[in-house]
Structure formats: C-alpha cells, structure tokens
Structure 1
C-alpha cells in the first residue's frame, strides 16, 4: 500500500486548515479527537457519522492533507489522531479556540 501524504508542519496553510474546519462533519471529527488524550488514536469506524463511508473517507483525506490529523494504517483499520504539536506550533491558539467554541455550543449541529 502506498504511504499516505501528511504535510510537513511548514507546509500547513491557514487557508487549508480553515477550509478543512469549514465543514461540520470535519469539524466534528476534530472536536471528537480533541476530547481524547494527546497521542490517542481512534478508528475511522468508531466515529458516529451522518454520511456514507466513501464521503467520510473524503472528509478524512481533507483533514489529513490540511495537516490536522495523522492517519495510520494498521491492517484494515485506519487510525486517526490529532496533530496537536504541529497545529499548536504552526497556529498557536487555534485548537484552544475550537475547543472553547465547542464547549460553549457555538457550533451549530
């Protein structure tokens, strides 16, 4: 299997990150991963989603290519984790803002 593309920290752009966070499905993935301990992974199949598997795969690809998540293949499983250190280094305060807004019900479902 061909390795998945994950951009280097320096290649992450604010436009790409905002585009990735601009969709409610992708934002919910980030919010879900924010609730996990740092470094924890979650299998794709464990997310509660309202879209088809192929559409969810597209959303995961957008998040991965924006640099927000790391996807690790383990057999047939795709394990997702939040790239906290890279995001915090590249865009200080972004994840804290998303977390605060999420906890205050700012985002509409």
Structure 2
C-alpha cells in the first residue's frame, strides 16, 4: 500500500510540474499547461492527496492570473487556502492568502 501511495504522489506531482514548466515557458504553452494542471487537480482530489491538491490550486491560480481571469484566480487561491488550513500547512496557507490579497 505504501508503494502505491508513493507512486501516486510522484505521478500526480509530475502532472503539476509539467503544468508549471509549460506555464513558465511562454504564453503559447498556456493551454497545454492548463490541461496538465487540471489533470493534477483531478488526480490529487481522487487520491485524497490534500496538501498536493492545495499546491495544484495555487498553481492554477497563477495560470488564471496570467490569463487575466482574476475572479477565478481568487477562487482557486481560496480553495488552496482552505485546503492548506485543513492540512495544518500554515506557511503555505499564509503564502496563498498573501497572493490572494494582491489579486484586487
């Protein structure tokens, strides 16, 4: 069971990292980055990997911010804040709250 969980963490994290890499390459890779980030969100949600799900939502908020969709970016950061709070990840929660406050 531990091997399966470890494998899921790597697989799901790889999806998020692919999204992050593509997001940071250039604007023309944004649609592909979004696909990878959404895959990571779905996988982490399904597998109950809550801390990683919070990181997925925070990354998705960055993508949405770059697309100038500030309401959805705030919503995604709100999800990240809630998840980090539930996980007891206070530092991550604080970072997400600070980013959320800047999206005015």
Fold match, TM over 0.5?
no
TM (norm. structure 2) is 0.33
Between 1 and 2, higher relative CO (CA 8 Å, sep ≥ 6) is seen in: 1
**Which of the pair is proportionally richer in helix?**
2
